[in-house]
Amino acid sequence: MTTNSAPADPAGNQTTALRTHLCGVLRATDEGARVTVCGWVARRREHGEHLAFLDLRDHSGVIQCVIDNKVDVRSEWVIAITGTVRRRPAGTVNPGLATGEVEVGECTVEVLNEADAPPFSVDDRDESDEPVRLRYRYVDLRRPRMQRNLRLRARVNAAIRSAMDRQGFCEVETPLLWAPTPEGSREFSVPSRLHHGSFYALPQSPQLAKQLLMVGGFDRYYQIARCLRDEDLRADRQFEFSQLDMEMSFASQDDVMACVSEGVLDAAEAATGERPPPITRMTWADALNRFGTDKPDLRFEMELVDLSTEFAHTEVRAFSGSHVKALRVPEGGSFSRSRIDSLVEQAKRAGAAGLAWFRVTAGDAAGDAAGTGAGTQPLGLDSPLDRFLSETERAAVLEKTGAKEGDLLLAVSDTHRIACSVLGTLRATLGSPPVGQGPHHYVWVVDFPMFDGVDAAGNPQAAHHPFTMPYAEDLPLLDTDPFAVRSQAYDLVLNGWELGSGSVRIHRRDIQSRIFATLGITSEEAESRFGFLLNAFRYGAPPHAGFAYGIDRLAAILAGEENIREVIAYPKTQSGADPLTGAPSPLPARALVELGIRTVGPPPDTRPAPPPT
RNA sequence: GGACCUGUGGUGCAGCCUGGAGUGCACGCCGCCCUGUCAAGGCGGAGGUCGCGGGUUCAAAUCCCGUCAGGUCCGCCA
């Protein structure tokens, strides 16, 4: 199963005034047809004055055209060729080309536009550095890879829209110019020309707008929404990204997950030609315990093993933390000492006090190695810590991890959260294939804790957001043990990437007040921060729940890419610059005056210049 | 704010560790030859501020410091 198996030209021949056929659609059944094809010169093979082959490319593919005289065209010139489709002579069929059985002969060539030699080859075989690709993105987009990725993304969008529409969702657009919120992730600000000194914010998501739509009686809303966050960029994060944003009234978490799943699975099927199995579920606690993260990559095993009981009364100081978790790395026993040391370093960066490691060796009957029990091959441990272990501890480690000779065992002893998350990080480092590779393993992670950590004032912080509804049966815990309260929040995870998250929202004022109280938010504060939402909720807010997931991430994985820039036409670099346009760039003084803005410091003069015209 | 990697004709690389003339490979480009190629082939040619600045040295693409750009990650992403 490849990701590019869907037809390149589902819309048919796309005949226009200038052409009769697309390049990539011609087949033996077209033999004898007089055709005109338009496109770019992909390659030419000249054989003296009386024979030349031109490979003409458009988005649908490549067709070989045979020129019986001299022709002066160069790579990437835009030309139209009129000729007759004919079968290729015996022995010259090109099975590597969809159009390889035929060629266009008796050609006349019309040059529609000459072109400079491209800065890099328009060919998937040649890989260029990203800065060059982005600077000449219009050339890069001509490459089959980008054509395939962006067209795949278009099919994903279409499938999602169709699924949401089919399920009764109403597409509503929400403002890009929105009110700044006093907290949260950094927003982009837009100065107001009509109100000097005041600013709009570009929305991080349409979260509040869509909840108001529920109050407004839309019942089921969706939108492929552009969201903007002024946070540092990553392989899976751009300033601007697109989410399938949805919200539904009188609905449970299960209802939301069913509707979202439908769209995601349809999108996957549209992209790959294959419908994934129904999406499985896992609790947050399970994900943390077994995979050390709330976004588990289920493409491979390597589950964490809990050794807390076995080491509850240990004499070994390194294992004296409240919890002991272990990770078996198959075949990891061959890792060099320096590689193991770098794992130890990584564990420390991730927050562990240390990382215990054991190479699993064949047991030495004469030595101090312990067997794992009668009838099994005795195994030993090669580790600086081994001599501190009791025989029962050594046996427990070997048995509970399922260790085999040649494995490497890693263990962290710390708080439960740290032990899990550190090993989860190591598991991902050691086991994860590139995100776009291998099977697509979707999973819903449910039952998140309501609160996660404390703020500077010592108040619990909302893990999702303050409007997330706790489980009704956990409400009594708000006063006694808030960190045990589970929320009706859920994430969708694919291959270790968080695709999106959502929740059942609080629609009752009494519960909202209790949550604000737990968070340490006074009613005055709540009024100033969320006033218009709370106000709206006085006028008949239905119970509602929603979700949003990143289309860039979904499309990237479905396209087999590891980076969302590969499914975005005009992405920005990690420092937020656009090599194509030179953005961001200083504003002329006159524009600043009009906006009532005065800048501080000299304008940066280190921007990359746009390419020469 | 931090860590690591990268920067060499238009493109992708090697050269750097161990300093000795811009030395090499592939693609592209330009010219010539070539009638069945398809990553065509053959011959010839042009093309360089080794990211930038400073330092060490008789001598720096190479070593050191700084800086800029790009990437991956940490922080950040209610």
A432-437 long-range contacts (CB < 8 A, ≥24 apart) are: A432/A297, A432/A299, A432/A300, A432/A496, A433/A299, A433/A300, A434/A562, A435/A495, A435/A496, A435/A497, A435/A556, A435/A557, A435/A562, A436/A495, A436/A556, A436/A557, A436/A559, A436/A560, A436/A561, A436/A562, A437/A560
pTM for this prediction: 0.92
Indicate if the pLDDT at residue A4 is higher than 50. Answer: no
Does residue A597 lie in a domain region? no
Token representation of residue A307 = 């050794």
Indicate if the pLDDT at residue A503 is higher than 60. Answer: yes
Q: What is the pLDDT of residue A5?
A: 38
List the A70 CA – B8 C1' distance (angstroms): 39
Residues A445 and A377 in one domain: no
| Strand B closer than 7 A to residue A122 Cβ | no
**Strand B, CB < 7 A, residues 167-196 of A:** 183-186
Does residue A170 lie in a domain region? yes
pLDDT tens track for A278-288:
999 999 999 99
Does residue A554 lie in a domain region? yes
Going from the C-alpha of A415 to that of each of A88, A389, A531, the distances in angstroms are 71, 21, 39
Short-list A30, A41, A37, A34, CA closest to A16: A37
Q: Which 8-state DSSP code applies to residue A143?
A: S
pLDDT tens track for A453-477:
888 788 888 988 899 999 999 999 9
| Mean per-residue pLDDT, A385-398 | 90
Residues A202 and A272 in one domain: yes
**Strand B, CB < 7 A, residues 63-82 of A:** 64, 66, 74-75
Q: Tell me the pLDDT band of A314, cut-offs 50, 70 and 90.
A: confident
Short-list A415, A420, A333, CA closest to A379: A333
| Mean per-residue pLDDT, A216-228 | 97
CATH of the domain at A170: 3.30.930.10
**Strand B, CB < 7 A, residues 95-114 of A:** 96-97, 100, 103, 105
In terms of pLDDT, which residue wins out, A611 or A228? A228
Residues A373 and A493 in one domain: no
Lowest mean pLDDT: which of A117-131, A444-458, A561-575, A596-610? Answer: A596-610
Short-list A41, A18, A23, CA closest to A116: A41
Query: Which nucleotide has its C1' atom closest to residue A88's CA?
Result: B36
| Strand B closer than 7 A to residue A127 Cβ | yes
Which residue in the block uniquely carries the two structure tokens 């994900």?
Answer: A287
| Mean per-residue pLDDT, A399-408 | 94
List the A582 CA – B54 C1' distance (angstroms): 29
Q: Which of A410, A429, A448 is the last residue of a domain?
A: A429
Q: Tell me the pLDDT band of A183, cut-offs 50, 70 and 90.
A: low
Q: Tell me the pLDDT band of A611, cut-offs 50, 70 and 90.
A: very low
**Strand B, CB < 7 A, residues 478-517 of A:** none
List the A132 CA – B6 C1' distance (angstroms): 14
Query: Which nucleotide has its C1' atom closest to residue A118's CA?
Result: B10
Q: Tell me the pLDDT band of A601, cut-offs 50, 70 and 90.
A: low
Residues A185 and A88 in one domain: no
| Strand B closer than 7 A to residue A120 Cβ | yes
Q: Tell me the pLDDT band of A613, cut-offs 50, 70 and 90.
A: very low
Closest CA-bearing residue to C1' of B6: A129
Count other Cβ atoms within 10 Å, centred on residue A154: 12
Lowest mean pLDDT: which of A36-45, A290-299, A357-366, A445-454? Answer: A357-366
CA–CA separation, A405 and A413 (whole Å): 23
Cα-atom radius of gyration of chain A, to the nearest Å?
30
Does residue A124 lie in a domain region? no
Residues A195 and A263 in one domain: yes
| Strand B closer than 7 A to residue A92 Cβ | yes
**Is the CB of residue A141 less than 8 Å from the CB of residue A147?**
yes
Q: What is the pLDDT of residue A602?
A: 55
Short-list A409, A414, A408, A422, CA closest to A293: A422
Query: Which nucleotide has its C1' atom closest to residue A186's CA?
Result: B77
Q: Which domain holds residue A384?
A: 301-429
**Strand B, CB < 7 A, residues 358-387 of A:** none
Query: Which nucleotide has its C1' atom closest to residue A565's CA?
Result: B71
Does residue A585 lie in a domain region? no
Residues A553 and A538 in one domain: no
CA–CA separation, A592 and A191 (whole Å): 10
Indicate if the pLDDT at residue A525 is higher than 90. Answer: no
Indicate if the pLDDT at residue A397 is higher than 80. Answer: yes
Q: Report the run of H or E that residue A557 belongs to, with start and end.
A: helix A551-558
| Strand B closer than 7 A to residue A119 Cβ | yes
Closest CA-bearing residue to C1' of B33: A48
Indicate if the pLDDT at residue A217 is higher than 80. Answer: yes
Q: Which residues are CB-contacts of A559 (< 8 A; sequence separation ≥ 6)?
A: A3, A148, A149, A152, A153, A271, A436, A566, A567
Q: Which residues are CB-contacts of A552 (< 8 A; sequence separation ≥ 6)?
A: A236, A238, A241, A242, A564, A567, A568
Residues A466 and A526 in one domain: yes
- Cα A585 to chain centroid, rounded: 29
| Strand B closer than 7 A to residue A349 Cβ | yes
Residues paired with A87 in a beta bridge? A102
Alpha helix stretches (DSSP H) within A433-499: 477-480
Does residue A15 lie in a domain region? no
- The one-letter amino acid at A412: V
Q: What is the pLDDT of residue A531?
A: 83
Q: Tell me the pLDDT band of A377, cut-offs 50, 70 and 90.
A: low
CATH of the domain at A90: 2.40.50.140
Indicate if the pLDDT at residue A116 is higher than 70. Answer: yes
For A261, how many CA atoms within 13 A lie in the half-sphere containing its CB?
18
Query: Which nucleotide has its C1' atom closest to residue A572's CA?
Result: B70
CA–CA separation, A46 and A64 (whole Å): 13
Q: ipTM score of the complex?
A: 0.93
| Strand B closer than 7 A to residue A598 Cβ | no
Residues A401 and A466 in one domain: no
**Strand B, CB < 7 A, residues 575-594 of A:** 575, 577, 579
Residues A415 and A312 in one domain: yes
Closest CA-bearing residue to C1' of B37: A45
Indicate if the pLDDT at residue A101 is higher than 90. Answer: yes
Lowest mean pLDDT: which of A62-71, A154-163, A246-255? Answer: A62-71
Does residue A589 lie in a domain region? no
Residues A149 and A274 in one domain: yes
| Strand B closer than 7 A to residue A605 Cβ | no
**Is the CB of residue A355 less than 8 Å from the CB of residue A348?**
yes
Q: What is the pLDDT of residue A7?
A: 44
Residues A208 and A96 in one domain: no
Q: Which nucleotides of B are covered by protein (CB under 7 A)?
A: 1, 10-13, 27-30, 33-41, 68-78
Indicate if the pLDDT at residue A375 is higher than 90. Answer: no
Extended strands (E) in A495-563: 497-504, 544-550
Does residue A295 lie in a domain region? no
Indicate if the pLDDT at residue A50 is higher than 50. Answer: yes
Structurally, chain A folds into a number of domains equal to: 4
Indicate if the pLDDT at residue A336 is higher than 90. Answer: no
| Strand B closer than 7 A to residue A116 Cβ | no
Indicate if the pLDDT at residue A17 is higher than 80. Answer: yes
Q: What is the pLDDT of residue A560?
A: 95
pLDDT tens track for A544-595:
999 999 999 999 999 999 999 999 999 999 999 999 999 999 899 999 999 9
Q: Tell me what percent of the residues of chain A surpass a pLDDT of 70.
A: 93
- β-pair type (A78-87, A240-249): unpaired
Residues paired with A83 in a beta bridge? A35
CA–CA separation, A51 and A43 (whole Å): 14
| Strand B closer than 7 A to residue A115 Cβ | no
DSSP-derived 3-state class of residue A519: helix
Indicate if the pLDDT at residue A13 is higher than 80. Answer: no
Indicate if the pLDDT at residue A606 is higher than 60. Answer: no
CA–CA separation, A474 and A326 (whole Å): 31
Indicate if the pLDDT at residue A245 is higher than 70. Answer: yes
Closest CA-bearing residue to C1' of B67: A606
**Strand B, CB < 7 A, residues 211-250 of A:** 229, 231-237
In terms of pLDDT, which residue wins out, A135 or A336? A135
CATH of the domain at A314: 3.30.1360.30
Q: Which of A380, A399, A429 is the last residue of a domain?
A: A429
Count other Cβ atoms within 10 Å, centred on residue A145: 17
CA–CA separation, A335 and A353 (whole Å): 22
Q: Which of A381, A403, A429 is the last residue of a domain?
A: A429
| Mean per-residue pLDDT, A94-101 | 95
Count other Cβ atoms within 10 Å, centred on residue A473: 9
Query: Which nucleotide has its C1' atom closest to residue A123's CA?
Result: B39
Please state, rounded to an integer, the average pLDDT across all residues of chain A.
90
CA–CA separation, A232 and A449 (whole Å): 26
Residues A330 and A210 in one domain: no
